[in-house]
Amino acid sequence: MQKLNETYRHFLSNKFRDNPVVFNWLFLMTVVTIPFPDYSLTSKFMIALGVYWLFFFGSFKAKMRQLRHTKLLWLSISFLYLLPVFGLTYSNDLPAALTDLVIKLPFLILPIIVFSSSEIVDIKQVHKYFSYAVAILSLSALLQALYLKFHFGVDYMFYHEFSFFTEKHTTYFGLFLTLALLFFVDEIFQKKKIVLHTLLLFFILYMMYINGNRMSFVASFLGIMILTFAKLNLKKILLILLSFIVLAAFFTQTNFYQNRIKTQITQSGKHNQIRLRKLHWTAVWQTIRHNNLILGAGTESHRDYLYQKYKDLHYEIAYLEHYNAHNQFLETTLDFGFLGLFLLVLAIGFHLYLIIKSKNWYLLALYISIVVFMLTESILERQSGIVIFSLFVSLMLLSATKNKY
């Protein structure tokens, strides 16, 4: 009996250790659970992935050798963790800074796992499973909203109200929808399951409409244009461009969508969304000038000066809700000054250089769509954005440089 148990344990050990199927399953589950309402699911799978990679997958020497060969690639992402570590040394809020380091651990862990693993699943497979997960969760949220609307007369089919079912900020859910849409468009261009992917494409467009995040339309448009220029002739490009213009005109003329961009009220009077954003960034810029211009205020330092500026400019909701910069470039500059901004821009430029050099327009469309969201949201400050950027950009760079490394 003892011998049988030892044989069984040995069998399990051989099946479990250095098994690419186990490793890639954990990796895919980390990706697939990103859109899930329960944030802890992604964290749990990420921890399981890290433990498996560290103790059961590949030799330590082989992983270190691979990391030395790819150090520029993973460091161009992991610096987003090293920067807050540096900012910790002059932060005036140590507990908040330490919490921030925990939240941003994926910036360090995930690129190291990706660039040290030789049998990792490719970007297209990851994108596929992620996109189907987004579609399924969108359908679940939509059905819940429709149930409340038709059975209780409660309308949650719009913007912040709809996020009650997704349990995601509308910007992050907009990013998920944009990435899913680009996958389905690329599959249609490659003539793969055209009927299914066309239906899913229109469903995602409808969900973007309900979600009400404007940047998702901008990012999707740019991403589709990149894919279109790479794959289609001029006639088809003009047809798609015209279709987008017609769709945009239709959406912006509906009362439903105009409610999303209607004038908001502050104590200083009436402001449309553009003026509110200008007011917001004026306060942020004044705070940047007040801080150390080179190094910033430090990781998660108190932002009392920024909040006071919101109040001085009569941007009451920003003052009460303690808004962040709502722009990743300004957000980084607030904490880490122009040094941090320079490193962020340098990393993005480096990534774009490698992707463009590879002539992989699919990767370029994905990367540009993520960068677009940085313009109106600090997407690298929350778990959803952190994990998306760490995983997708790591896989993009791995794919773009596969012949070199």
Q: Chain-wide mean pLDDT for the chain?
A: 86
Tell me which of 402 and 342 has the higher pLDDT: 342
Least-confidence region, from 20-24, 262-266, 283-287, 375-379: 262-266
Tell me which of 401 and 6 has the higher pLDDT: 401
What are the tens digits of pLDDT across the range 196-225? 999 999 999 999 988 888 899 889 989 988
User: Would you state the structure tokens that stand for residue 242, as one six-digit string?
Assistant: 């015209």
Least-confidence region, from 78-82, 145-149, 236-240, 366-370: 236-240
CA dist., res. 171 & res. 1, Å (int): 58
Residue 124 host element (H or E): helix 123-152
> What's the Rg (C-alpha) of the chain?
23
Residue 133: how many other CB atoms lie within 10 Å: 19
User: Is 60 exceeded by the pLDDT of residue 1?
Assistant: no
207 close to 162: Cβ distance less than 8 angstroms: no
Residue 270 host element (H or E): strand 269-271
355 close to 304: Cβ distance less than 8 angstroms: no
Query: pTM for the whole thing?
Result: 0.89
Question: What letter would DSSP give residue 322?
Answer: T
User: Would you state the structure tokens that stand for residue 326, as one six-digit string?
Assistant: 């709502």
Beta strands in 182-243 (DSSP E): none
Q: Is 209 exposed, middle or buried (0-12, 13-18, 19+ CB in 10 A)?
A: buried
CA dist., res. 175 & res. 287, Å (int): 28
What are the tens digits of pLDDT across the range 228-261? 887 666 666 666 667 666 666 666 666 555 555 5
What are the tens digits of pLDDT across the range 14-53? 677 889 999 999 999 999 999 998 778 999 999 999 999 9
The pLDDT of 115-129, averaged and rounded, is 92
Please, what is the angle between helix 383-400 and helix 361-374, to 10°?
A: 150
User: Is 60 exceeded by the pLDDT of residue 2?
Assistant: no
Q: What are phi and psi of 295, to 5 degrees?
A: -105, -15
